Amino acid sequence: MPFYPFYFDWTIIILIPAMIFAIYAQAKVQSNFSKYSKVHNSRGLTAAQVARQILDENGLTNVAVEHISGNLTDHFDPKTNVVRLSDSVMNSTSVAAIGVAAHECGHAIQHATGYFPIKVRTALVPITNIGSSISIFVILFGLLFGNSTLALFGVALFSLAAVFQAVTLPVEFNASSRALATLESRYILDDDEIPGARKVLSAAALTYVAALVSSLATVLRLLLIVMGSRRRND
């Protein structure tokens, strides 16, 4: 029996727990960031000032700190050597904003020191992009024409996204660990301010766990669809 791509099947339920987890993780980030955005550091430092201090103290005077529009769109761009801080972070003196800024500086330090997991993640980016863009088409062609081998190859291509998410976890956890250690050891935040930054970064890390769970759930669903199609064709 040929596979029809718009046919509803029970495997969709596999994605439901992952979707719920992703919604919870995102809500946790927003809740914690909102809460600790109202808690300002006793030194009156802005997130941009903290980022500049951390970068300079690690010998990264060549890394710029720039503003980027949006909410929590903060990131480090290794191509241009720029830490970009969002509207809600750049000029904020909150412990939430400072935690986020320090985290992005952690990524800059990872690149500068040759942190191995981030090298692996960078190398995976083009491969993952190609795999993600063509995998669904490969799977559909394989199912439509009863070629389970081709369909399984498509699933393998899609699973590169899960590999990428798995490699991303240690990168993000390490950046947060570096950030918190720096904020504490450099006395940028007081002892009673550190827990707030930690909760914000822990919640952010949860979103990466959710992304991995979602990718794995999708891979499992695709495998079940392909194997089910193979049994029907036998």
Predicted pLDDT of residue 15: 93
Residue 10, pLDDT score: 80
Q: Work out the percent of the chain whose per-residue pLDDT is above 90.
A: 88
Residues composing the chain? 234
String of DSSP letters for 156-187: HHHTHHHHHHHHHHHHHHHHHHHHHHHHHHTT
pTM recorded for the entire structure = 0.87
> Alpha helix (H) ranges present in the chain?
15-36, 47-57, 95-113, 116-144, 148-158, 160-185, 194-233
pLDDT digits 0-9 by tens, 82-104? 999 999 999 999 999 999 999 99
**Does the pLDDT value for residue 20 go beyond 90?**
yes
Instruction: Report pLDDT for 1.
Output: 41
104 is catalytic: yes
In this model, does residue 229 exceed pLDDT 80?
no
Per-residue confidence (pLDDT) for residue 2, from 0 to 100: 46
State the Cα–Cα distance between residues 171 and 154, nearest whole angstrom.
27
CA distance 183 to 187: 6
pLDDT at site 40: 96
User: Over pLDDT 70: what percentage of the chain?
Assistant: 96
Rounded-to-integer distance, Cα 186 and Cα 57, Å: 10
Cα–Cα distance for residue pair 158/144, rounded to 1 Å: 18
Mean pLDDT of the chain: 93
pLDDT at 234: 57
Please pick, among 57, 66, 104, 172, the residue that the annotation labels catalytic.
104
The pLDDT-based confidence of 233 (bands split at 50, 70, 90) is: low
61 pLDDT higher than 90: yes
Q: What is the pLDDT of residues 142-173, one digit of tens each?
A: 999 889 899 999 999 999 999 999 999 999 99
